[in-house]
Amino acid sequence: MSSYPGSSSAARPGDTPGILRLLAYLALAIVLLALDHRGGWMKELRLHASVLVQPLWSIAGLPGRLGNALQDGLAVRDDLIEENRTLRNELLVANARLARFGTAAVDNAQLRALLGEAERSGLDVQLAPILDIDLAPSRQRLVLAVGSRQGVHAGQAVIDAGGLLGQVIQVTPVSSTVLLLTDPDHAVPVVVARNGVRLIAYGRGDRLELRDVPLNRDVQVGDQLVTSGLGGRFPAGFAVATISALRPDESQAFLIGELTPAAQLDRGRDVLLLRAGAPLRLPHGEALDEEAAPADGDAPAATDGTGAAAASPAPRDPTAPAPSGVPVADPGRRPAASAPASRPAAAPPATTPPAPATTPPAATPPAADVRPEVQP
């Protein structure tokens, strides 16, 4: 096989001018760089060239800037969404805590009112939390979270800070059921606090009412009704209701009264159970007054007796001398209780010598008749 004739390194006829132009450009660039470095001749040219090229650079960098802005916007949006979600959750938690604080404040106020009522009444009470409530129109009940293990028994009266709530009707070892005053099957004897008129308050589902009240009974709108203590079920003196309205019944012969319960039947989380045989604690001043009352009652009797004793000798003649056997009472000293009775017995009128000017009684013999009998 014959080889390729000619030299392989020989330049092509069309490549020589191109090489020369390249060398000329390189030489020109080197010269311009040297001149600009030494004298700064190309500074103005660069400034004008940069001004002319700046729009091109802006247009060329626009897609990149748009992409970066879009990416940053999406990232910021995601951060804002996450931050908004976090803030919403924190707001819900804060609202829940605030609601709990408000509920705790209300519970605290109710407990203070309950304990204050127990302290004021001086009764032995037991705090009982409410477990369940049934306020249907035909069934008014409470379920308490205390039972026979805590000493609860059927028949106990239940109160709150406002007044009487009802009574315990059923007891289990861990819970108890309370029949409210407003239950249709419940009735409580009451009296009007203003004048003591006795009435009976009946439950009506959501309120209380008076039935068959005679027209001549002294009852008025606004009168407060308290327990009378009759029947021995409820202690006397606990607020029950207030008369809110009075109207005649269908026969026009009796009145029907609408009552507003004094107790808060539809609110509260705790109640008070009255323990059996819990005596009232009287204030110290009232106890002293009651202890001093018998002594004060005895003093007028002694004074009256003394006055009677002092007045008993008044019918006698003040000028008459006292008998020798009768002691004279000292006016500066209080006589004994037996002195008024003994003094009249020891000084009968027949033994008192008459005054000279007084005519002797007819039954007494004359002195002349007596002397001859005593002579020997």
Of 122, 152, 180, which closes a domain? 122
129 and 269 fall within a common domain: yes
Per-residue model confidence (pLDDT) at position 297: 42
pLDDT tens digits, 304-327: 433 333 333 444 444 444 443 334
With respect to residue 16, please indicate whether it lies within any of the assigned structural domains. no
* CA 48 to each of CA 42, 44, 51, 189, 269: distance values in angstroms, whole numbers, following the listed order: 10, 6, 5, 111, 87
Residue 193 belongs to a domain: yes
Select, from the ranges 28-37, 78-87, 310-319, the one with the highest average predicted confidence (pLDDT).
78-87
pLDDT at 2 (0 to 100): 53
Q: Is residue 164 part of a domain?
A: yes
pLDDT at 256: 92
Q: Are strands 187-192 and 198-203 parallel, antiparallel or unpaired?
A: antiparallel
- Domain membership flag for residue 341: no
Q: Looking at the structure, tell me whether residues 40 and 150 fall in a common domain.
A: no
Task: Identify the residue with better confidence: 45 or 174.
Answer: 174
Question: How much of the chain exceeds pLDDT 70, in percent?
Answer: 66
Whether 280 is covered by a domain: the verdict is no
Do 228 and 191 form a contact (C-beta atoms < 8 A)?
Answer: yes
- Taking CA atoms, 343 is separated from 97, 230, 305, 313, 340, in Å, by 89, 54, 14, 9, 6
- Please give the Cα distance from 266 to 206 (Å, whole number): 10
Residue 101 and residue 172 share a domain: no
What are the pLDDT digits (tens) for 251-270?
888 999 999 999 888 888 88
Q: For residues 42 and 35, is the Cβ–Cβ distance under 8 A? A: yes
Angle at alpha carbon of residue 20, lines to 19 and 24, rounded to 5°: 120
Rounded to 10 degrees, the C-alpha dihedral 324/325/331/333 comes to: 140
Query: Among 127-141, 173-187, 197-211, 298-312, which stretch is predicted with the lowest mean pLDDT?
Result: 298-312
More confident residue, 373 or 275: 275
Q: Are residues 246 and 113 in the same domain?
A: no
What value does the mean pLDDT take over residues 18-44? 81
Mean pLDDT of 13-22: 78
Q: Domain containing 270 — which CATH number?
A: 2.40.10.350
Write out the residue range of the structural domain in which residue 181 sits.
125-274
> What pTM does this model have?
0.49
Distance CA 334, CA 340 (A): 11
Domain final residue pick, 274, 298, 328: 274
Burial of 326 (0-12, 13-18, 19+ CB in 10 A): middle
Listed residues 209, 242, 274: the one ending a domain:
274
Selection from 282, 301, 373, 366 nearest residue 340 by Cα: 301
Domain co-membership, 110 together with 235? no
Q: Are 170 and 37 in the same domain? A: no
Q: With beta carbons less than 8 A apart as the criterion, state whether 270 and 142 touch.
A: no
How many structural domains is the chain composed of? Answer: 2
Within this chain, do residues 36 and 154 fall inside the same structural domain, yes or no?
no
Looking at the structure, tell me whether residues 182 and 103 fall in a common domain. no
Are residues 113 and 254 both part of a single domain?
no
Which has the minimum average pLDDT: 94-98, 169-173, 235-239, 323-327? Answer: 323-327
Is residue 319, in this structure, part of any structural domain at all? no
- Flag whether 242 is in a domain: yes
- pLDDT at residue 118, rounded to an integer: 65
- ∠ CA 175-176-179, rounded to 5°: 155
Confidence of residue 71 (pLDDT cuts 50, 70, 90): confident
Q: Compute the distance between CA of residue 181 and CA of residue 118 in angstroms, rounded to an integer.
A: 20
Which residues, 6 or more positions from 26, have their beta carbon under 8 angstroms from its beta carbon?
Answer: none
Question: Are 141 and 259 in a shared domain?
Answer: yes
Give the model confidence (pLDDT) of 199-221 as tens digits: 999 998 888 999 999 988 899 99
Instruction: Examine the domain organization and report whether 100 and 159 are in the same domain.
Output: no
Residues 58 and 145 in one domain: no
Residue 301: pLDDT above 50? no
Amino acid occupying residue 350:
A
